[in-house]
Amino acid sequence: MPDVLIFQHAPDVPAGSLVEIFKRDDLSTQTYRLFENQGNQIPLEQACGLVFLGGPMSANDAAEHPFLATELNLMCSAVDRGIPLLGICLGAQMLAKAMGGRVYPHTVREIGWSEIDLLPAAQEDAIFNGRSVRETVFQWHGDTFDMPPGAVQLASGTQCRNQAYRVGRSAYGVQFHAEMTPEIMHQWLAEKPAKITDRLMAPIDPAKIAAAAVDRFPAMNDFSQAILSRFAGLCAGRRS
């Protein structure tokens, strides 16, 4: 039985660096490709961790994508049971919705490299403690969310305020793409900008984002690999 269950919403939004990080802790994974089918009954009771990836849809699109409603219920159950949970981008928005927060289109699309500020609460958190006040991340989203009741905000940004938070002891939402790899970034820059028709946003400059990656990726990895490794440690601790 897999240790960590990963929920993938679109073929071009994979788990990226996450699988290798889980392997370091000897954690097995199973990916549910929800865009193909919802899979069989999900063995939540036996899981020691859950990951909900990003995707092009909104957390409010359950009528068009029924598996979103299933995931929202899974999130509530996982939080109640104290199962470590990580929501990335869409996953973070869904966790906020599951916990009673509002998800809605932001006034801007946040795409490319940015810096986020870790808040004082982050220094007391199991996976964010000991990090710098400002960290480099990679973004690709148009929606945002209100902090759900009882959540602890861990990081904020200039364009998009809510960047990271915790619900309960071990359920996390991060708006940025902590799983990003150079391969995924280049694929997105080659394919996704042409699909964005939002008249309110400035054109995306894929070449500029790719050029900045030379300096930005090392800084991003130093941060994201640290928090993802610590999350994997929470999952391993529950298994033992």
Active-site pick, 20, 124, 183, 191:
183
Asked about 89 being catalytic, the answer comes back as yes
Q: Which residue, chain included where needed, has tokens 């030379």? A: 214
Distance CA 237, CA 118 (A): 25
Other Cβ atoms closer than 10 A to 152: 16
Question: So what's the pLDDT on residue 239?
Answer: 80
Check: CB of residue 111 under 8 Å from CB of residue 157.
Answer: no
Active-site pick, 89, 110, 160, 179:
89
Active-site pick, 9, 71, 110, 177:
177
Question: So what's the pLDDT on residue 107?
Answer: 84
Range of the domain at 228: 4-239
Question: So what's the pLDDT on residue 198?
Answer: 60
Q: How many domains does the chain have?
A: 1
Question: So what's the pLDDT on residue 46?
Answer: 86
CATH number at residue 30: 3.40.50.880
Question: So what's the pLDDT on residue 30?
Answer: 93
Distance CA 96, CA 133 (A): 24
Distance CA 85, CA 74 (A): 10
Chain mean position to CA 10: 14
Asked about 179 being catalytic, the answer comes back as no
The residue type of 24 is R
**Residue-by-residue pLDDT tens, the chain, 240 positions:** 679 999 999 999 999 999 999 999 999 999 999 988 765 678 888 899 999 999 999 999 999 999 999 999 999 999 999 999 999 999 999 999 999 999 999 888 899 999 999 999 999 999 999 999 999 999 999 899 999 999 999 999 998 999 999 999 999 999 999 999 999 999 999 987 766 656 545 677 889 999 999 999 999 999 999 999 999 999 999 986
Question: So what's the pLDDT on residue 194?
Answer: 63
Question: So what's the pLDDT on residue 39?
Answer: 54
Which residues are registered as beta bridge partners of 238?
Answer: none
